[in-house]
Amino acid sequence: MSWEPVYRLVRKIPRGRVTTYGELAQALRLPGGARAVGFALAATPRGQGAKGRIRVPEHYAALQRKLLESEGVAIDGEAIDLRRYGWSPLRKRAGAKATKRAARKR
């Protein structure tokens, strides 16, 4: 299996926003769910996170923390407020469908 669909979707996450492995897995309908996304992202040199917490060895965690903070994402200890900074590829798609339906009604 190619991890390219995971990487394409991750590249769509807006600057200053974060998402979860579960959200990515649902949007891609990946067999293996969030764990499969974790495997895909672990195969990259950029590290990974989980449930709003940075879960990588310290060298990479410090880099990830610095990159997120440079985008304006506040990190409280090891946690990120997903209500404030969370992004969902599923919500975006649902909004796009609603817009298309509204346009057809006109």
Range with lowest mean pLDDT among 6-15, 31-40, 69-78, 92-101: 92-101
What tokens does 21 get? 């492995």
Q: Give the rounded percent of residues in the chain with a pLDDT score beyond 70.
A: 71
What tokens does 4 get? 């390219």
The mean predicted confidence, pLDDT, of the chain is: 78
Q: What is the mean pLDDT of residues 11-35?
A: 92
Domains and CATH numbers, the chain: 4-105 (1.10.10.10)
**Amino acid sitting at position 76:** D
Which residue bears the tokens 């404030």? 84
Stated pTM of the model:
0.68
- Phi-psi region at 29: left, alpha or beta (left = phi > 0; alpha = psi -120 to 50): left
Look at residue 56 and give its three-state secondary structure.
coil
